[in-house]
Amino acid sequence: MESKSTGRFILGKQSSLAPDRRSNAGDDSEFRVPPDIDANIRLMYLANEGDLDGMLELIDSGVDVNFKDIDGRTALHVAACQGVPGAVELLLERGAMVDMEDRWGSTVILLIDLSCLISSDWIMDLG
């Protein structure tokens, strides 16, 4: 079941097809996961950071890997857009869907940078 919220993940690239609105593009060092954030949005932050242990803990506690924020993004969108292959692989292993579009029309396949993220054999397994 797909869940959606009014929450919004705000770090990193919004989408490969969305304009970059950050004033310090590329500098996320000052940002941290807010302490009282919804668990579904927290998964997106952890995917952004590549915190696989934290992601596993949330997923094992029942967090929906296909949760969409207000912009239609999932943790898989975030991991793919930010180029975090371990997070991408973990989310796919746990049932994340690759064909979900965000509000800008991006899907995970559009977001993956094939040259630095994964092998072509891995992509073929997505089909």
Half-sphere exposure of residue 28: CA atoms within 13 angstroms, side-chain side: 11
d(CA 53, CA 46): 9
For residue 6, what pLDDT is reported?
Answer: 56
Q: Show pLDDT as tens, one digit a residue, over the chain (127 residues).
A: 455 555 666 655 555 444 454 444 444 444 566 678 899 999 999 999 999 999 999 999 999 999 999 999 999 999 988 889 999 999 999 999 988 998 988 888 777 654 344 544 555 555 5
pLDDT computed for residue 109 by the predictor: 77
Q: Is the pTM of this model over 0.85?
A: no
Q: Give the CA-trace dihedral at 127, 40, 9, 55, to 10 degrees.
A: -70
Give me the pLDDT at residue 82, please.
85
Determine contact, residues 68/99, Cβ cutoff 8 Å.
no
CATH class in words for 39-126:
mainly alpha
Q: For the chain, give every domain's residue range.
A: 39-126
Residue-wise pLDDT for 14-49, tens only, equals 554 444 544 444 444 445 666 788 999 999 999 999
